[in-house]
A = this chain, B = another copy of it.
Amino acid sequence: MEPKMVKALVFDAYGTLFDVRSVLNRCEDVFPGHGSDLTGLWRAKQLEYTWLRSLMGRYEDFWQVTQNGLVFGCRSLGLAPSQDQIDYLMQAYLALEPFPEIAAALDALDGLPCSILSNGTPTMLQSVVHSAGLESRFQHILSVDEVRIYKPSPVVYRLAEDRLGIRREEIGFVSSNCWDVAGAKAFGFQTFWLNRQKAPAELLGVEPDQIIGSAMELTSVLS
């Protein structure tokens, strides 16, 4: 089947545009010797809680879930963070570093409308996009908070289709999270797995349409 024209791109935020590992310095600062383990546990638990709460039908927003993931991560390392320490670490999420190629990659896509579809709350997303100086690059910044369920529920991907007003087959979805790509592909987007780390693909019964190693490759795979 000939691929359809991509009329707009939708990006995942955390891990795709913004490096969730950029919390590492603060983690190491607060808990010396535990920075790397805490960074990994924090992210893993944050995601796990989005899936579990979605399945339980007990949505809480991503700020809350991220904080819960942080606190659990600390406890499982035997650390007892104070509220001040939690607040300090949580602030890191408002200013995550964009991956180094992102601004240039967005520039190179000139003319193609780009949006964000993310688990983050509207406040978190506005903040991280502003902090990275990327406000002018995105047409829509869409949060699952509107639909109160997390990725990879099809309800989330439908939000982007509805808001962009473009048919799903003509939307290109870019994510570094292979499970997010699987959800997007199952919904019907054209999918681009941004696999910077050359990780093995998740075995979820759906394959990404394209695999790229850097956002800079989007221009060539789309042309």
Q: How far is the CB of A163 from chain B (nearest CB, A)?
A: 21
Please state if A54 and B55 are interface contacts (CB–CB under 8 Å): yes
Bound Cα distance from A203 to B55, whole angstroms: 15
Please state if B55 and A182 are interface contacts (CB–CB under 8 Å): no
| B residues near A1, Cβ cutoff 8 Å | none
State which size class the interface on A falls in: 20 to 34
Bound Cα distance from A15 to B94, whole angstroms: 37
Interface residues of A in 71-89 (CB under 8 A from B): 71-72, 75-76
| B residues near A202, Cβ cutoff 8 Å | 49, 52, 72
Q: Does A207 contact B (CB under 8 A)?
A: no
Please state if A52 and B200 are interface contacts (CB–CB under 8 Å): no
Bound Cα distance from A153 to B19, whole angstroms: 31
Q: How far is the CB of A89 from chain B (nearest CB, A)?
A: 15
Interface residues of A in 158-212 (CB under 8 A from B): 179, 182-183, 186, 199-200, 202-206
| B residues near A154, Cβ cutoff 8 Å | 56-57
Q: Does A68 contact B (CB under 8 A)?
A: yes
Please state if A203 and B58 are interface contacts (CB–CB under 8 Å): no
Q: Does A53 contact B (CB under 8 A)?
A: yes
Please state if A60 and B205 are interface contacts (CB–CB under 8 Å): yes
Q: Does A120 contact B (CB under 8 A)?
A: no
Q: Does A98 contact B (CB under 8 A)?
A: no
Please state if B55 and A152 are interface contacts (CB–CB under 8 Å): yes
Interface CB pairs A-B, < 8 A, 27? A48-B179, A49-B202, A49-B203, A49-B204, A51-B51, A51-B52, A51-B55, A52-B152, A52-B182, A52-B183, A52-B202, A54-B55, A55-B150, A55-B153, A55-B183, A56-B152, A56-B153, A56-B154, A56-B183, A57-B154, A60-B205, A68-B203, A71-B203, A72-B200, A72-B202, A75-B200, A76-B200
